[in-house]
Chains A and B, each alone.
Chain A
Amino acid sequence: MIVGALGVILMPNTINSVMSLLLSMLALAGIYVLMGAHVVALFQIIIYIGAVLVLFIYVIMLLNLKGQRLKLPREASTYIISGFSLGLLVVVVWLFWQSLWGTTFTGDAANLKVSATVHQLAVDLFSQHILIFELTSILLLVAAIGAIILSKK
């Protein structure tokens, strides 16, 4: 999975990048199944692989993109800023880790009892979280109209 993710950012050709992303997302769906989140794994395959990646490949074919060399930035300021932000990231992750250490998140993920069944998930989604569900549907409608208008002319 990490190999696939590295392939996304290091492949010079865009279509190879998309194929690496496909590998990474399939591995992620496998991890979801391993964690007992079958609904999420199913949606991962349907939405990401079935819609998003197909859209990427479709746009690449539409624009007839050719491969280009991997150019790395050359300015010194870029590397200084990158090093600083990487250090900040390490500090944030370390603080997060310290605050989580010693909590009771133990046990094998595959052996825990499954808490969120499909039924429970649906009841929760359509009772407590109905507002964000409706807002998401409005957002999807707006995004579809926006995409059509942007690519029309």
Chain B
Amino acid sequence: MGFYHFLSLGIVLFTIGVVGFVIRNNTMVLLMSVELMLNSVNLIFVAFSRYLYGTEGQIYVLIIMAIAAAEVAVGLAIVISIYRLFGTLDISKIKLLKG
């Protein structure tokens, strides 16, 4: 497996994450799609770090993982409060504006 295989895999994973973010309307699945996109970016970072013989890529991957954990904690707290407020997680049914 060479560099371009990892790059293609990362791009395909990112596209799947974007498509999932667009077509689903469950808030949990939206958060999981964001996780998928972050994972694909991590994969591309590690691939570049591997082929450029540097350590920066892996350090940034560690930082991205910490930020992803923080984002999931805050996101799931928001999900819990949305569920308490509306009784559903379907974002097409959540309306606060009266239009």
A and B part of one assembly: yes
Known: A65-B28, A106-B2, A109-B2. A52 touches B69 (CB 8 A): yes
Q: Is A144 an interface residue (CB 8 A)?
A: yes
Beta-carbon nearest neighbor of A148 in chain B: B77
Q: Which residues of A contact B3 (CB under 8 A)?
A: 105-106, 109
The binding surface of chain B is classed by DSSP as helix
Q: When the two chains form their complex, are residues B90 and A40 in contact, meaning their CB atoms are under 8 A apart?
A: no
Q: Is B29 an interface residue (CB 8 A)?
A: yes
Beta-carbon nearest neighbor of A41 in chain B: B46
Known: A1-B9, A68-B90, A108-B1. A35 touches B46 (CB 8 A): yes
Q: When the two chains form their complex, are residues A32 and B46 in contact, meaning their CB atoms are under 8 A apart?
A: yes
A2 CA / B36 CA spacing, docked (Å):
11
Closest beta carbon of chain B to A79's beta carbon, Å: 11
Closest beta carbon of chain A to B51's beta carbon, Å: 4
Known: A14-B26, A25-B39, A116-B49. A59 touches B76 (CB 8 A): yes
Known: A14-B29, A28-B39, A108-B2. A121 touches B50 (CB 8 A): no
Q: Is B94 an interface residue (CB 8 A)?
A: no
A104 CA / B17 CA spacing, docked (Å):
30
Contact of B29 among A8, A71, A120, A142 (CB under 8 A): A8
Q: When the two chains form their complex, are residues B55 and A120 in contact, meaning their CB atoms are under 8 A apart?
A: yes
A72 CA / B29 CA spacing, docked (Å):
14
Q: When the two chains form their complex, are residues B15 and A89 in contact, meaning their CB atoms are under 8 A apart?
A: yes
Instruction: Encode A108-152 as 1/0 by CB contact (under 8 A) with B.
Output: 111010011000110011000100110010011011101110110
A-B contact pairs, 6 of them (CB 8 A): A48-B68, A100-B7, A109-B2, A115-B55, A121-B55, A150-B74
